[in-house]
Amino acid sequence: MNTQLIACFFALNLLFTPWSVADNKKPSAEVRNDAGQSVVRLDIEAQKLSGIETLTLKPVSHHAEFSAYGKAINLQPLLDLRSRYMLTLTERSSAKAKFKQVEQNIDRQQNLYRHGVSSKRNLQEQQAQWQSYKAQADATDFQGKAIIDEALINWGKELTDWALSSDSDKLGTFLSSQRRLLQITLPANKHLPDNIQTIYIEGSGNRSKAHKAELISVATRTETVAQGESYYFQTSDKNIITGMNVTAWIPEATEQMTGVVIPKSALIWYMDQAFVYLKTEEDTFSRRTLDHYSPTAGGYFIPDTIKPGEQIVTKGAQMLLSEELRGQIPSEDDD
């Protein structure tokens, strides 16, 4: 009886055991040489277990870019000019009103003097007052022009118009911290293409986190040691604060190129060389060298080497590289 119970328990144990010999055999990668190129073979089940993900690439158009550097500019000197100019306008308005009043008075005094009603002394006093108020009005005109010239020299026509016009809506967005003023200086051998109104900027130099900046005007002076062209831009990037240095990415004056954009996660490095893995068959992966690539907001632009329609490994590429390198190590049987 005891023998039968033991046999029964043994059978039940086999029936409900969650693994079998076949299940316990984990899938592994196979590395082989295909026309001089190492390829990694991994069946579908192994791909799932390894968390490999791929993306079918689509054609995109891309403008080549070059890097420049700049700074978020303090607007206080421009605001000070605006305050001085507005005060001058008030003084000029007052001076011209007094001058106009004196002009009317002197006309009456001259008429009275001609008819013998008023003395010559009264007329002379009116004339002296007229000269004084005219000088004040002329002085405010000169002072206002001097402020405009100072603003033009230091800030250029566009920002001068924004600051000194009675309608300060454009400048108001900077005062309310909705926008930041940037001065970007190009390398000495570079130029801003005529058709470029938008560039991309970022404080830490990370192209994938860059925000747009819109062209305002040519800058009249430089804020850096660089000797290239300098421009004013505006940005709504709230991460940029006054005084911060920024990196700018500016389109080249060349025609757009056609290629593909790969995610940042797809690119891996080995022996100082950039690589990606492509899924060439349902269960086969091949490593490909990247000689030319450009950072973009979405990853990296590849003008050649990879074609639209190919499947790139976006997750698990590092594991494939490890398997490939492991497969290239000679086994003890090869000795």
What CATH number is given to the structural domain containing 325?
2.40.420.20
CA–CA gap between residue 313 and residue 320 (Å, rounded): 9
Q: How many angstroms from the chain centroid is the CA of residue 62?
A: 16
In the structure, what pLDDT confidence band is assigned to residue 29 with cuts at 50, 70 and 90? confident
Residue with tokens 């000019």: 81
Tell me the β-bridge partners of 283: none
Kindly state whether residues 70 and 190 are assigned to the same domain: yes
The fraction of the chain above a pLDDT of 70, given in percent, is: 78
Structural domain including 195 reads 66-74+174-251
Residue 12 included in any domain: no
pLDDT digits (tens, 9 = 90+) for 190-242: 899 888 899 999 999 888 889 999 999 999 887 666 678 999 999 999 999 99
Quick one: pLDDT at residue 297? Answer: 74
Q: Which of 117, 150, 166 is the endpoint of a domain?
A: 166
The predicted model gives 303-320 an average pLDDT of 93
Same domain, 109 and 150: yes
Q: So what's the pLDDT on residue 239? A: 92
Residue 238 domain flag: yes
What is the CATH number for 201? Answer: 2.40.30.170
Longest dimension (CA), the chain: 155
Residue 20 is assigned to a structural domain of this protein: no
Angle at 199 (CA atoms; ends 195, 204), nearest 5 degrees:
165
User: Pick from 151, 152, 150, 137: which is nearest to 90 by CA?
Assistant: 137
* 144 located within any domain: yes
- Shared domain check, 214 and 287: no
In a domain, residue 6? The reply is: no
101 and 161 in a single domain? The answer is yes
Residue 213 lies in a domain: yes
Cβ 70 vs Cβ 213: under 8 Å: no
CB-based contact 5:294 (threshold 8 Å): no
Pair (127, 203) in one structural domain: no
The count of domains in the chain is 3
Q: Based on the domain organization, do 135 and 188 belong to the same domain? A: no
Give backbone dihedrals phi and psi of 274, rounded to 5 degrees, phi first. -85, 135
CA 129 to chain centre: 60
**128 phi, psi to nearest 5 deg:** -65, -40
- Within the chain, how many helices (H) and strands (E) appear? 6, 17
Q: What integer is the mean pLDDT of 119-130?
A: 66
Average model confidence (pLDDT) for the chain?
82
Structure-token pair, residue 143? 């002072």
Give yes or no: residues 90 and 154 share one domain.
yes
Q: Which tokens is 191 given? A: 């130029």
For 248, residues 6+ apart whose C-beta sits below 8 A from its C-beta are: 67, 68, 69, 70, 182, 184, 199, 200, 201, 213, 233
**Residue 54 in domain:** yes
Tell me the mean pLDDT in the region 126-132.
69
- 334 lies in some domain: no
Are residue 82 and residue 70 in the same domain, yes or no?
Answer: no
Of 20-29, 157-166, 292-301, which one has max mean pLDDT? 157-166
- Indicate the pTM of the whole model: 0.64
Do 223 and 99 reside in the same domain of the chain? Answer: no
Average pLDDT over residues 295-304: 85
